[in-house]
């Protein structure tokens, strides 16, 4: 499935024994994994379709060791693949067959939780949820909450610019990280951003967040904490069609309401999760919306009443407001367990991550339904309705001949559709290796060249996570060839050779 990978330098095999000897001077033996039984767990991330066995895995225990490993890898011209908890869904942490996996999970100390400055200082290996747990005694929390938050690390969140179900109101990782300390491939330590509201020079922090481990290795992070709202309640609304639900979402925003969370599930997704969690979802609905309000008691009561009125006017067939915290969590449990529920009804599932302008929702969901027949696979849709981020879950069985290939093609077709309606191929999971071909659809060659030039300013040797995110010209040309339909070129703008 993956291309054969060559060392970016010359195509010759790197001198691993020399590299290991050099790394041993600075990194303790138990942090260096070379035996296949030890390195096997690192052969893929959350996207297990793509695998490569890494020849060497290093798990440094402090920043000085990270610096030493990077300097050694630069000296020996060996690629470095950064890794957090390995929960990513785009193969961003897939190993390089001739490179080092540099895992930062041991840099997992929480240095400071400071309610008076509303900040936390943590190592990159600290789990997302662990920050909120440490801040809880002070009545505060860290806002971005990707669904993998019990396992994923803040370092990985920075690499992917992770979101979550609350990002319409509270923002993505880029809106909630104040400062990052990072090591470049040259082994130099840089401080990006600041605890002050801004920092002099170019805003490299904004560009570093979401850079998928291609610019540097994070060794320390300062995040913003926010006070926990006194109260939160959620409205669950049923609609007879996804169109009606889509209009209801537009009307909520048009009414000037920014919900704390706004999620949609289609009928298949509802039927998939309800037996799994017994959340009390309406099995008659063709689309279900979950809309959350948070704040003080009075604020929430006021806002919930406005939300209910909008949904009623938009033709909701059933409305239910969580009566207490237990019921609120039950309503959310279904949405948050969509992925495991998919795993229960289907041997495999493939989660897509396109984002679209919300007004095209019905068009896109109807087109996905038509594709189900074309590719002979089923698809359940969960959707961050507030911000337009779609997560179609393509259900397949990797033991059936050709189903993997059909799932991949189905996924690619969905992403191209997202670009066609003015959206993007990835909202929060990243490009990694998975969507590298679709980058050729979203970007022109000059734009991809700009990305390459941008990366060279940080990593002129192309050693950090090479062959991810930005496709080569040859790869785009090859991908274009596969997509000639009826003699018509799919991407007429693309230069060809």
Q: 263 or 348, CB closer to other proteins? A: 263
Binding of other proteins by 364 (CB under 8 A):
no
Residue window 246-265: x/- pattern of binding to other proteins, with contact defined by CB under 8 A:
----xx-xx-xxx-------
Q: Reduce the DSSP state of residue 392 to 3 states and report it.
A: strand
Among 6, 97, 110, 206, the residue binding other proteins under the rule CB under 8 A is 206
Residue window 128-167: x/- pattern of binding to other proteins, with contact defined by CB under 8 A:
----------xxx-------------------xx-x---x
Of 195, 6, 18, 29, which is closest to residue 112 (Cα–Cα)?
A: 195
Binding of other proteins by 470 (CB under 8 A):
yes
Q: 253 or 473, CB closer to other proteins? A: 253
- Binding to other proteins in span 270-299, by CB under 8 A: 295-296, 298-299
Q: Which residues pair with 349 in a beta bridge?
A: 395
Q: 40 or 359, CB closer to other proteins? A: 359
Among 387, 477, 490, 491, the residue binding other proteins under the rule CB under 8 A is 387
Q: 188 or 405, CB closer to other proteins? A: 188
Binding of other proteins by 453 (CB under 8 A):
yes
Q: Which pairs with CB-CB distance under 8 Å and at least 24 residues apart come from 343-349?
A: 344/276, 345/272, 345/395, 346/378, 346/395, 346/396, 346/397, 347/396, 347/397, 347/398, 347/399, 348/395, 348/396, 348/397, 348/398, 348/403, 348/404, 348/407, 349/393, 349/394, 349/395, 349/396
Among 40, 51, 175, 490, the residue binding other proteins under the rule CB under 8 A is 175
Of 223, 262, 260, 261, which is closest to residue 142 (Cα–Cα)?
A: 223
Size of residue set near other proteins by CB under 8 A: 95
Dihedral sign computed on CA atoms, order 419, 422, 428, 430: positive
Cα angle value 305/308/314 (rounded, 5°): 145
The least CB distance from residue 171 to other proteins, in Å, is: 7
The least CB distance from residue 143 to other proteins, in Å, is: 12
The least CB distance from residue 55 to other proteins, in Å, is: 28
Q: Are 292 and 329 in contact (CB under 8 A)?
A: no
Binding of other proteins by 228 (CB under 8 A):
yes
Dist. CA 485–CA 464, nearest whole Å = 36
Binding of other proteins by 11 (CB under 8 A):
no
């Amino acid at each position: 499935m993956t291309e054969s990978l060559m060392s970016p330098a010359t195509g010759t095999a790197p001198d691993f024994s020399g590299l290991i000897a050099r790394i041993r001077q600075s990194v303790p033996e138990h942090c260096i994994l070379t035996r296949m039984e030890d390195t096997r767990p690192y052969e893929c991330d959350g996207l297990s379709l793509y695998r490569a066995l890494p020849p060497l895995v290093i798990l440094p225990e402090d920043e000085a060791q990270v610096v030493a490993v990077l300097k050694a890898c630069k000296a020996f011209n060996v690629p470095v693949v950064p890794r957090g908890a390995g929960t990513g869904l785009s193969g961003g942490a897939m190993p390089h067959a001739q490179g080092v996996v540099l895992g930062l999970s041991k840099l997992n100390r929480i240095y400071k939780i400071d309610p008076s400055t509303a900040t936390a200082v943590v190592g990159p290996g600290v789990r997302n949820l662990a920050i909120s747990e440490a801040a809880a005694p002070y009545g505060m929390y860290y806002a971005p909450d990707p669904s993998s938050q019990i396992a994923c690390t803040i370092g990985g969140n920075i690499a992917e610019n992770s979101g979550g179900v609350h990002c319409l109101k509270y923002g993505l990782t880029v809106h909630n990280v104040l400062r990052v300390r990072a090591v470049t491939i040259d082994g130099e330590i840089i401080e990006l951003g600041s605890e002050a509201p801004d920092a002099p020079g170019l805003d490299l922090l904004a560009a570093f967040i979401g850079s998928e481990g291609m610019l540097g290795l994070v060794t320390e992070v300062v995040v913003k904490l926010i006070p926990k709202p006194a109260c939160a309640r959620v409205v669950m609304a049923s609609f007879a069609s996804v169109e009606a639900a889509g209009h209801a979402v537009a009307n909520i925003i048009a009414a000037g309401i920014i919900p704390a969370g706004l999620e949609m599930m289609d009928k298949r997704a509802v039927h998939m999760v309800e037996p799994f969690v017994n959340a009390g979802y309406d099995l008659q609905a063709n689309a279900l919306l979950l809309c959350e309000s948070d704040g003080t008691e009075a604020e929430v009561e006021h806002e919930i009443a406005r939300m209910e009125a909008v949904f009623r006017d938009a033709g909701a067939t059933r409305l239910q407001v969580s009566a207490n915290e237990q019921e609120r969590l039950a309503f959310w449990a279904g949405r948050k367990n969509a992925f495991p529920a998919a795993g229960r009804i289907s041997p495999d599932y493939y989660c897509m991550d396109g984002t679209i302008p919300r007004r095209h929702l019905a068009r896109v969901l109807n087109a996905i339904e038509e594709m189900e027949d074309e590719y002979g696979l089923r698809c359940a849709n969960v959707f961050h309705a507030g911000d337009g981020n779609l997560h179609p879950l393509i259900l397949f069985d990797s033991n059936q001949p050709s189903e993997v290939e059909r799932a991949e093609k189905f996924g690619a077709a969905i992403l191209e559709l997202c670009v066609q309606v003015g959206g993007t191929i990835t909202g929060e999971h990243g490009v990694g290796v998975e969507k590298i071909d679709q980058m050729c659809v979203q970007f022109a060659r000059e734009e991809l060249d700009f990305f390459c030039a941008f990366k060279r300013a940080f990593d002129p040797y192309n050693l950090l996570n090479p062959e991810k995110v930005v496709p080569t010209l040859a790869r785009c040309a090859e991908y274009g060839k596969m997509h000639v339909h009826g003699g018509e070129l799919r991407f007429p703008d693309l230069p060809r050779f």
